[in-house]
């Protein structure tokens, strides 16, 4: 059988693209190397506890009735109802620097009031910047500024405010050391600050299950434990894929969510093309701490804290194994759920050096994880109230884990710095979706899958 489209990867972008194609009765097959769906946003069970891999929060939060909100438009494209994801809004988040804390939530006026209070000389300039962001046409082609850091330094005068606004945006989506493309800054500013955070009480699982059901109900085929070893083509056009077990699957189109560098490898692309696209090198360690108490009872009552302890955020690949001077502390308990979560959780994310973690011999890898576990907890306890006496279990994953389970080179969560915005590649019929097409995060990757499917595969 020859498919209309084979999709590589059952992450959020691949599933979203698959639903669009299946809905319009295209013959579509998603092939996923791992034994479960979700990719960077999957889930697992460890010592009797359920864990999400990547979910801190779903960005772009909007009340159910707001039809024009991006997340509700996305749901309509997937023929789902906004309530299908069961998102509860965040309580409140903060950007914490030694000199200042800025609180923000799902109502933008909180951030505006905080800037007015802590940076009174900047508030007019901040409002002008927000107006510029609101009016920015993210889909307009042609020249536009590339460095968000440069734009912010021009529009605002206080370097501390610049650094504080960049902090959550770097951690939730920048593939570029110490900066971010201005277009991505605009998209993330809207989705984090303008709209905000929500989370399903049961984590990512119900979202993934709902997407899979929708895909299969419309006739889509999903093959797990089914890796693609090679994309086959005649130098101009794709013809299908060869699987890890040597089987050939033929298709008119291949849509890859594996990442740009990874997809070029699967095609055995010529060196002159590969050289144009260096791999990303920003990756993270994530430490999940399970507590015997609700974190709020210890005074950890914010949803997400983005912290930085130096003058300038060291958002680049650390020289040592990890960078503890900045990061994210997320508390999945702190959303407005109907019922509280069963146990307390604190998740801590810090930058990590991929090469270091990927090159460690197996026995040293385990001992290095043990070394870094308490250091990361200590770093978090300098920012939020001390929770060390309440830890009953932990799990830690590194760039090596991300690489192992998703195949992303260097475990680079936000992919390659150079994005392929139109999703096209050097081969006809081969398209990219997901992180390296340029949309980031859970909502972004689903939007990417939908956009590329609509543009090229439903024609
Ligand atoms: C620690 C962490 C925390 C995060 N927190 C958040 C958050 O709070 N909010 C948010 O919005 N986003 C968050 N993200 C980011 C978000 O998870 C990703 O942006 C999004 O899931 C990317 O989806 P994707 O479909 O583009 O790619 P992926 O999820 O990487 O999917 C690609 C899939 O392709 C499969 N694959 C690769 N190669 C092959 C092959 N050769 N054959 C077959 N299959 C293959 C992989 O196994 C994978 O399943 C987080 C990520 C991490 C790692």
According to the model, what pLDDT value does residue 143 have? 64
Q: Which residues surround ligand 1 with Cβ inside 6 Å?
A: 8-14, 31-34, 39-41, 54-59, 227-228, 257-258, 262, 266, 284, 286, 349, 402, 406-407, 413, 434-435, 440-442, 445
Same domain, 12 and 61: yes
Q: Per DSSP, what are the bridge partners of residue 231?
A: 241
Same domain, 398 and 435: no
According to the model, what pLDDT value does residue 165 have? 98
Q: Is residue 379 part of a domain?
A: yes
Same domain, 114 and 249: no
Confirm if 30 and 222 have CB atoms less than 8 A apart: yes
Instruction: Tell me which of 14, 15, 32, 41 to substitute to probe ligand 1's pocket, judged by most ligand atoms within 8 Å of the beta carbon.
Output: 41
H-run or E-run covering 214: helix 205-217
For the CA of 257, the nearest atom of ligand 1: 32
Same domain, 269 and 396: no
- Residue-by-residue pLDDT tens, the chain, 459 positions: 899 999 999 999 999 999 999 999 999 999 999 999 999 999 999 999 999 998 999 999 998 888 888 899 899 999 999 889 999 999 999 999 999 999 999 999 999 999 999 999 999 999 999 999 999 987 666 667 689 999 999 999 999 999 999 999 999 999 999 999 999 999 999 999 999 999 999 999 999 999 999 999 999 999 999 999 999 999 999 999 999 999 999 999 999 999 999 999 999 999 999 999 999 999 999 999 999 999 999 999 999 999 999 999 999 999 999 999 999 999 999 999 999 898 999 999 999 999 999 999 999 999 999 999 999 999 999 999 999 999 999 999 999 999 999 999 999 999 999 999 999 999 999 999 999 998 888 999 999 999 999 999 997
According to the model, what pLDDT value does residue 449 have? 97
**Which of 194, 229, 264 is the last residue in one of the domains?**
194
- Give pLDDT tens digits for 60-93: 999 888 888 889 989 999 999 988 999 999 999 9
According to the model, what pLDDT value does residue 438 have? 86
Report how far apart the first and last C-alpha atoms of the chain are (Å, whole number): 21
Whole-number Å distance, alpha carbon 128 to ligand 1 midpoint, is 35
According to the model, what pLDDT value does residue 424 have? 97
Same domain, 318 and 372: yes
Whole-number Å distance, alpha carbon 171 to ligand 1 midpoint, is 15
Residue keyed to tokens 């951030």: 111
Instruction: Tell me which of 40, 408, 432 to substitute to probe ligand 1's pocket, judged by most ligand atoms within 8 Å of the beta carbon.
Output: 40
Same domain, 232 and 308: no
Q: Is residue 102 part of a domain?
A: no
Confirm if 29 and 220 have CB atoms less than 8 A apart: yes
Neighbours of 385 (CB within 10 A): 11
- d(CA 323, CA 301) in angstroms, rounded, equals 25
Q: Per DSSP, what are the bridge partners of residue 72?
A: none
Same domain, 255 and 344: no
- d(CA 84, CA 204) in angstroms, rounded, equals 12
- d(CA 22, CA 106) in angstroms, rounded, equals 34
246: tokens are 């040597």
According to the model, what pLDDT value does residue 328 have? 98
Which residue's CA is the closest to the ligand 1 atom numbered 16? 441
Structural domain total, the chain: 3
Whole-number Å distance, alpha carbon 353 to ligand 1 midpoint, is 19
- d(CA 457, CA 29) in angstroms, rounded, equals 13
SS3 string, 223-276, reads ECCCCEEEEEECCCEEEEEEECCCCEEEEEEEEECCCHHHHHHHHCCCHHHHCC
Q: Which domain holds residue 125?
A: 108-194
CA distances, 433 to each of 15, 138, 413, 453 (Å): 11, 17, 14, 9
Q: Is residue 55 part of a domain?
A: yes
Whole-number Å distance, alpha carbon 11 to ligand 1 midpoint, is 6
Q: Is residue 161 part of a domain?
A: yes
According to the model, what pLDDT value does residue 137 have? 84
Whole-number Å distance, alpha carbon 4 to ligand 1 midpoint, is 24
Residue keyed to tokens 């009016």: 135
According to the model, what pLDDT value does residue 68 have? 83
According to the model, what pLDDT value does residue 138 have? 76
For the CA of 286, the nearest atom of ligand 1: 1
Same domain, 27 and 166: no
Same domain, 308 and 390: yes
Same domain, 271 and 303: no
Same domain, 292 and 354: yes
Q: Is residue 92 part of a domain?
A: no
Q: Is residue 101 part of a domain?
A: no
Classify residue 24 by burial, with Cβ atoms within 10 Å: 0-12, 13-18, 19+: middle
Instruction: Tell me which of 245, 441, 446 to substitute to probe ligand 1's pocket, judged by most ligand atoms within 8 Å of the beta carbon.
Output: 441
Which residue's CA is the closest to the ligand 1 atom numbered 49? 39
**Which of 194, 213, 240 is the last residue in one of the domains?**
194
Same domain, 397 and 452: no
Q: Is residue 430 part of a domain?
A: yes
* Residue (of 330, 333, 335, 334) closest to 347 by Cα position: 330
Which residue's CA is the closest to the ligand 1 atom numbered 37? 258
Q: Is residue 127 part of a domain?
A: yes
Residue keyed to tokens 């910047």: 129
């Amino acid at each position: 059988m020859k498919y209309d489209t084979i999709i590589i990867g059952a992450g959020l972008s691949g599933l979203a693209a698959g639903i669009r194609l299946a809905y319009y009765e295209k013959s579509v097959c998603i092939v996923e190397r791992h034994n479960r769906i979700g990719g960077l946003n999957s889930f697992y069970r460890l010592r009797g506890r359920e864990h999400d891999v990547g979910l801190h929060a779903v960005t772009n939060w909007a009340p159910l009735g707001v039809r024009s909100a991006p997340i509700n438009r996305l749901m309509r494209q997937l023929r789902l109802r906004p309530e299908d994801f069961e998102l509860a809004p965040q309580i409140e988040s903060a950007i914490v620097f030694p000199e200042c804390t800025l609180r923000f939530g799902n109502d933008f006026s909180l951030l505006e009031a905080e800037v007015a209070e802590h940076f009174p000389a900047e508030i007019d300039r901040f409002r002008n910047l927000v107006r510029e962001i609101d009016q920015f046409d993210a889909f307009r082609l042609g020249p536009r500024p590339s460095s968000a850091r440069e734009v912010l330094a021009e529009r605002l005068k206080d370097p501390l405010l610049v650094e504080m606004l960049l902090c959550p945006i770097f951690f939730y989506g920048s593939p570029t050391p110490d900066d971010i493309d201005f277009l991505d800054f605009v998209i993330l500013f809207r989705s984090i600050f303008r709209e905000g955070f929500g989370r399903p009480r049961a984590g990512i699982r119900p979202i993934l299950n709902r997407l899979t059901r929708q895909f299969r109900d419309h006739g889509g085929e999903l093959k797990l434990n089914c890796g693609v070893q090679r994309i086959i083509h005649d130098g101009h056009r794709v013809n299908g894929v060869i699987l890890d077990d040597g089987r050939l699957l033929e298709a008119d189109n291949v849509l890859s969510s594996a990442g740009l560098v990874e997809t070029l490898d699967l095609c055995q692309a010529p060196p002159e093309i590969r050289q144009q696209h260096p791999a990303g090198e920003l990756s993270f360690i994530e430490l999940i701490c399970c507590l015997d108490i609700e974190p709020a009872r210890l005074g950890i009552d914010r949803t997400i804290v983005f912290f930085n302890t130096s003058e300038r955020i060291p958002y680049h690949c650390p020289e040592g194994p990890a960078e503890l001077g900045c990061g994210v502390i997320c508390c999945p308990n702190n959303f407005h759920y109907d019922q509280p979560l069963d146990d307390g959780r604190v998740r801590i994310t810090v930058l990590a050096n991929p090469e270091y973690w990927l090159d460690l011999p197996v026995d040293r890898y385990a001992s290095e994880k043990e070394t870094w576990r308490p250091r990361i907890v200590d770093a978090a306890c300098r920012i939020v109230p001390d929770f060390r006496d309440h830890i009953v279990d932990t799990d830690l994953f590194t760039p090596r884990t991300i690489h192992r389970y998703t195949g992303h080179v260097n475990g680079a969560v936000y992919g390659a710095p150079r994005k392929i915005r139109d999703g096209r590649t050097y081969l006809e019929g081969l398209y990219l979706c997901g992180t390296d097409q340029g949309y980031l995060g859970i909502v972004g990757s689903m939007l990417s899958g939908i956009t590329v499917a609509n543009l090229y595969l439903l024609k």
